[in-house]
Amino acid sequence: MKNNNIRKIVIVGGGTAGWMAAAALSRVLKSRFCDIELVESESIGTVGVGEATIPQIQVFNHMLGLDEDEFVRETCGTFKLGIQFVDWGRKGDSYIHAFGEVGKDMEGIPFYHYWLKEHLRGGSQEIGEYTLTALAAQQARFMRSIDAGNSPLSNITYAFHFDAVLYARYLRSYAEKRGVQRIEGKVIDTLLDDDSGFIRSLRLNDGRTIDGDLFIDCSGFRGLLIEKALGVGYDDWRHWLPCDSAWAVPCEGDDAPLPYTRSTAHSAGWQWRIPLQHRIGNGHVFSSRFMDESAAQSILLNNLDGKPLAEPKLLRFTTGKRKQFWHKNCIALGLASGFMEPLESTSIHLVQSAIARLLSLFPDRNFAREDIDEYNRQTHFEMDRIRDFLILHYRATERDDSEFWNYCRTMDIPDSLGQKIDQFRASGRIVRANSELFNELSWMEVMLGQGIVPHSYHPLVDAMAEEQFAGRMREIQSVMQNSVAAMPSHREFIRRHCAIDC
């Protein structure tokens, strides 16, 4: 039988997406399977933001076989236990979307239904009082899981903050060691096959031509191959996710970085605060329909914790997704595939899951139509569900202090989100498909945090006798508090394991 395997993969773009793809493909395919080339242009550069992640990145690191301490050190990283949302539901409110377990499930029923019972009877404890990662975040403590039996310390869920530029550099060195060829140059033309419409080669500004079998478009917002050459089209989601701009600026931090991202709502958007070892990353994401650039920049600069370390950088984007992510012999990853906005730090994860999907549906040179369709179907599903989760933050608000919030509070939302909200309000249940990125607990934390309080809880909670119920709630809370007290500070943990001197 004729070998129809892919002989050469060409990646366009050397930002986070390009180097993640190069690293993962070089690890899995090994240099004997096919050649991998990555073209990037220093004169164009990368977006250079994208510094907060979600816990699934550990799967990616594991797949690459990275040493976690080295990874954190090389990227000046810190640990992340969740995101604190300030002023979102109402001005003055604050809640944490914390990673990992909430309380302890009992009799097969999620713990939060027990908490709801207590809450609906007037209990004053926040759900975060029963959540190890939320308590640890509040107290700026951190450690990795240890082997401690039933203790919550056996199961600590976390992600990372890192310097985006250093992350790409780190992955580049990893990929180059495994045979990936980097080509410095600017792609100025994409040559298509007349009959099939497949990409045959790329032309660079110095006259070189690069051919390949499979092309991975990691060229950022411009979507050089997927859009400029193949014209797949774009679904614009600005009516649901109205922020379309961001000012980003790093500032000085202190030597005790917080183990969580902070997102503070402003009058036409929100501000991120991402603590790294050597600085704090900040950005003001805003809607240009409701605020002009200079007002947005002033808000950012007036709300920094330290001296700015660079000139603020303005980024423009259109929230949405490509109509197709894989078309012909081209797959778009990262910003080239779409961008929803950074509110729940999902973009780097989307790169990771797209790479996993590509590996599981890896083509040969026949490029089976069915595999391409399946890839697109799964990617649409994943992005649509994340979109709903993000819209929830904007829609479920009581804020009426600006035109922006009035718009968000009253805008139409996708039916899929409306159903989730209605069901939670009615019975405290979250109904979701297993392959959705955000789990039941994430939905619950954000719904409650944004002020959606269910009318009721799971009826089987009442099967537990009253005295036992009160005792178990107290016990769980005290186990959480004692466990957190046993954790070192985040600063101390970093000092012991992965401190840098940059």
Ligand X SMILES: Cc1cc2nc3c(=O)[nH]c(=O)nc-3n(C[C@H](O)[C@H](O)[C@H](O)COP(=O)(O)OP(=O)(O)OC[C@H]3O[C@@H](n4cnc5c(N)ncnc54)[C@H](O)[C@@H]3O)c2cc1C
Nearest approach, Cβ of residue 264 and ligand X (Å) = 15
Scan residues 143-172 and list those touching ligand X (CB under 6 A). 164
Quick note: the x/- pattern for ligand X over 46-65, rule CB under 6 A, is xx-xxxxx------------
Nearest approach, Cβ of residue 444 and ligand X (Å) = 22
Q: Judge whether 273 and 264 are in contact, CB under 8 Å.
A: yes
Cα→Cα distances 497→68, 70, 290, 297, Å: 10, 9, 45, 37
- β-sheet with 199-204: strand ranges across: 187-192, 199-204, 209-211
Residue of 324, 345, 353, 379 that binds ligand X (CB under 6 A): 345
Q: How many residues bind ligand X (CB under 6 A)?
A: 39
Residue closer to ligand X, measured from CB, 15 or 110: 15
Question: Contact between 397 and ligand X (CB under 6 A)?
Answer: no
Q: Which two tokens stand for residue 248?
A: 């980003």
Quick note: the x/- pattern for ligand X over 68-87, rule CB under 6 A, is --------------------
Scan residues 257-286 and list those touching ligand X (CB under 6 A). 283
Q: Which two tokens stand for residue 116?
A: 């709801």
| 8 labelled catalytic | no
- ∠ CA(70), CA(74), CA(77), 5° rounding? 95
Over its C-alpha atoms, the chain yields an Rg (Å, rounded) of: 23
Interface with ligand X by CB under 6 A: which range of 26-34, 300-308, 333-341, 434-442?
A: 333-341
Nearest approach, Cβ of residue 139 and ligand X (Å) = 24
Quick note: the x/- pattern for ligand X over 5-24, rule CB under 6 A, is -------xxxxxxx------
Q: Which two tokens stand for residue 111?
A: 């713990």
Quick note: the x/- pattern for ligand X over 213-242, rule CB under 6 A, is -----xxx-x-x------------------
Nearest approach, Cβ of residue 221 and ligand X (Å) = 6
Interface with ligand X by CB under 6 A: which range of 42-50, 79-87, 362-370, 481-489?
A: 42-50
- ∠ CA(450), CA(453), CA(458), 5° rounding? 130
Residue closer to ligand X, measured from CB, 153 or 330: 330
Residue of 45, 418, 471, 488 that binds ligand X (CB under 6 A): 45
Residue closer to ligand X, measured from CB, 271 or 483: 271
Nearest approach, Cβ of residue 168 and ligand X (Å) = 8
Q: Judge whether 460 and 429 are in contact, CB under 8 Å.
A: no
Residue of 187, 296, 340, 487 that binds ligand X (CB under 6 A): 187
Nearest approach, Cβ of residue 460 and ligand X (Å) = 38
How far is residue 233's CA from residue 321's CA, in Å, rounded to a whole number? 9
Residue closer to ligand X, measured from CB, 6 or 249: 249
Catalytic residue among 8, 80, 117, 313: 80
Residue closer to ligand X, measured from CB, 78 or 483: 78
Residue closer to ligand X, measured from CB, 114 or 286: 286
Question: Contact between 212 and ligand X (CB under 6 A)?
Answer: no
Residue of 22, 23, 39, 127 that binds ligand X (CB under 6 A): 39
How far is residue 360's CA from residue 367's CA, in Å, rounded to a whole number? 14
Scan residues 347-366 and list those touching ligand X (CB under 6 A). 347-348
How far is residue 366's CA from residue 201's CA, in Å, rounded to a whole number? 17
Q: Which two tokens stand for residue 48?
A: 């250079």
Contacts 24+ apart (CB under 8 A), 480-485: 480/103, 480/129, 480/130, 480/131, 480/132, 480/135, 480/152, 481/135, 483/132, 483/151, 483/152, 483/153, 484/132, 484/135, 484/136, 484/139, 484/141
Q: CB count, 10 Å around CB of 406?
A: 14
Burial-class residue 223 by CB neighbours within 10 Å (0-12, 13-18, 19+).
Answer: buried
How far is residue 281's CA from residue 20's CA, in Å, rounded to a whole number? 21
Q: Judge whether 347 and 221 are in contact, CB under 8 Å.
A: no
Residue type, 431: V
Residue closer to ligand X, measured from CB, 216 or 408: 216
Interface with ligand X by CB under 6 A: which range of 21-29, 33-41, 78-86, 251-259?
A: 33-41
Residue closer to ligand X, measured from CB, 332 or 444: 332
Phi then psi dihedrals of residue 301, to 5 deg: -65, -25
Residues in contact with ligand X by CB under 6 A are 12-18, 39-41, 44-47, 49-53, 164, 186-187, 218-220, 222, 224, 246, 248, 283, 315, 317, 334-336, 342, 345, 347-348
- Active-site amino acid positions: 80
